[in-house]
Chains A and B, each alone.
Chain A
Amino acid sequence: EVQLVQSGAEVKKPGESLKISCRGSGYNFTIYWIGWARQMPGKGLEWMGIIYPGDSDTRYSPSFQGQVTISADKSISTAYLQWSSLKASDTAMYYCAKTDLSGSYFFDNWGQGTLVTVSS
């Protein structure tokens, strides 16, 4: 069974750094793109970017380029989303998801989400 298991909820202060994770199991992690999406409180989904764990090819939405870093460690089947300096506006639910193998880039399996709260 394909599973994406995300790390637990985080409460941070503005200016702090954070790295959240997404571990894949039940499939060949190396050959499927993994993406991240944000859902701010009361708002819709936003596509942040994707990474190909096989070679770490990474593509960002212009809205998130420079604001976050997406990475992956294929040896432990885990993708990451990190911030170097959090802002209150980063408070949101963050989802990871894997793409289909067909060459398309829709997300066929999703993680359960990681709630990040940034507050002083």
Chain B
Amino acid sequence: DIQMTQSPSTLSASVGDRVTITCRASQSISSWLAWYQLKPGKAPKLLIYKASSLESGVPSRFSGSGSGTEFTLTISSLQPDDFATYYCQHYNSYSGTFGQGTKLEIK
């Protein structure tokens, strides 16, 4: 099974900061990677798919990059609404392994 490892587990940042979350796959997954945002009491939200494609309606301050085994989610200028937990996910027709999550906290 492919394992997905996110880092850091927790990230403290301030409004306006640029932040990057990393996701590493235990073997090459091409670009089959998505990023989601989770907030308590709300439905999870798709941000990025196919490693770098921005989902419709998602602010352009979110971007994704990478291929193979290393991927990043970058938020260019943090907004108050961005403090949440972020998950990467490798997906294919038979599995959908999530990373362990990164909690983005207000510094």
Q: In the complex, are the beta carbons of B49 and A47 less than 8 A apart?
A: no
CB neighbours (8 Å) of B36 from chain A are 45, 107
Shortest Cβ distance from residue A34 to the other chain B in the assembled complex, whole angstroms = 12
Dominant SS among interface residues on chain B: loop
Q: Tell which of A69-77, A81-89, A109-117 binds the partner.
A: A109-117
Contact with A along B23-67 (1 / 0, CB 8 A): 000000000101010100011111001100001000000000000
Question: Once bound together, how far apart are the Cα atoms of A4 and B45, in whole Å?
Answer: 13
Question: Once bound together, how far apart are the Cα atoms of A62 and B95, in whole Å?
Answer: 9
Contact with A along B77-104 (1 / 0, CB 8 A): 0000000000101011111111111000
Count residues of chain B with CB under 8 A from any CB of chain A.
26
Q: Which of B42, B43, B98, B101 has its CB near the most chain A CB atoms (within 10 A)?
A: B43
Q: How many A-B residue pairs have CB under 8 A?
A: 66
Q: In the complex, are the beta carbons of B34 and A44 less than 8 A apart?
A: no
Q: In the complex, are the beta carbons of B97 and A47 less than 8 A apart?
A: yes
Q: In the complex, are the beta carbons of A113 and B43 less than 8 A apart?
A: yes
* A6 (CB) vs chain B CBs: closest residue: B43
Spell out B's residues near A (CB within 8 Å): 1, 32, 34, 36, 38, 42-46, 49-50, 55, 87, 89, 91-101
Given contacts A59-B94, A106-B34, 5 further A-B contacts (CB under 8 A): A4-B43, A47-B95, A47-B98, A59-B93, A105-B92
A–B complex contacts, Cβ < 8 Å, 24 sampled = A4-B43, A35-B96, A44-B87, A44-B99, A45-B36, A45-B89, A45-B101, A47-B89, A50-B96, A59-B93, A62-B1, A95-B43, A97-B44, A100-B49, A104-B32, A105-B91, A106-B49, A106-B91, A107-B89, A107-B96, A108-B55, A110-B44, A111-B43, A112-B43
Spell out A's residues near B (CB within 8 Å): 4, 35, 37, 44-47, 50, 59, 61-62, 95, 97, 100, 104-113
